[in-house]
């Protein structure tokens, strides 16, 4: 998410502007934020996840979409574009434009140096307020690592971590397992990369 907020907007104004824009924008608390582009590795991991989940879930009631689908986190007024969205059962929409989902079951974010703190902190806290959400996952692009947060029957969130190309991530909300070797297929890790700069 960009650090440069736009003037105060209503959700309706945001949706009108975002739908007319060539680029995706997120929204929170009256402000619209332009989303930055991702790296090749980021896009490849998203594609791998979408393909693996889509193939595994194809026979059942769940559907998989990529980051082109907007999700409304109604309680806090956040509108965002998760990297992967899984809906089980009939999707519920914000309006008749059918481009804003209200009832995700599983959300996945592929972490980037510029957005990792936001995805781990603010955004994950917002996701936990979505009643339909059963799991959300944070997927590293710097190393083979998948972190999954799952809602238990008592409402508590439980953390699981899967590390290494030989590991297998289990998404219990959709009864699906994916080897990390497939999530990171054809993704090269730069072991000599310098740590991200802070400003």
What's residue 76's pLDDT? 62
When pLDDT is cut at 50, 70 and 90, the band that residue 5 belongs to is low
At residue 199, the pLDDT reads: 45
Q: What's the rounded Cα separation, in Å, for the pair 133 and 13?
A: 26
| Cα diameter, the chain | 49
Partners of 78 in the beta sheet?
Answer: 73
Mean pLDDT of all residues in 70-91? 91
pLDDT at 67 over 50: yes
pLDDT of amino acid 144: 97
Would you state the pLDDT for residue 38? 81
Q: Assign domain 38-183 to its CATH architecture.
A: Alpha-Beta Complex (3.90)
CA angle, residues 155, 169, 114, in degrees to nearest 5: 80
pLDDT surpasses 70 at 170:
yes
- The whole-number pLDDT of residue 53 equals 97
Q: Where is average pLDDT lowest: 23-37, 122-136, 159-173, 182-196?
A: 182-196
pLDDT tier for residue 169 given thresholds of 50, 70 and 90: very high
Q: Looking at residue 59, what is its pLDDT?
A: 87
Beta bridge partners of 106: 86, 135
């Amino acid at each position: 998410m960009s650090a440069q907020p736009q003037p105060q907007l209503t959700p309706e104004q945001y949706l009108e502007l975002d739908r007319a824009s060539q680029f995706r924008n997120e929204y929170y608390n009256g402000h619209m934020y332009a989303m930055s582009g991702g790296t090749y590795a980021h896009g490849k991991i998203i594609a791998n996840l979408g393909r693996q989940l889509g193939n595994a879930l194809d026979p059942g009631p769940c559907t998989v979409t990529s980051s082109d689908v907007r999700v409304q986190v109604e309680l806090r007024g956040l509108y965002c574009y998760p990297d992967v969205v899984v809906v089980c059962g009939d999707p519920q929409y914000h309006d008749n434009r059918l481009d804003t989902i209200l009832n995700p079951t599983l959300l996945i974010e592929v972490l980037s140096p510029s957005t990792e703190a936001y995805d781990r902190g603010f955004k994950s806290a917002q996701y936990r307020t979505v009643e339909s959400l059963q799991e959300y996952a944070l997927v590293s692009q710097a190393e083979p690592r998948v972190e999954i947060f799952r809602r238990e029957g008592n409402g508590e969130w439980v953390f699981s971590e899967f590390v290494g190309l030989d590991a297998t991530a289990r998404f219990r909300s959709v009864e699906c397992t994916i080897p990390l070797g497939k999530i990171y297929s054809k993704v090269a890790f730069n072991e000599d990369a310098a740590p991200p700069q802070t400003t």
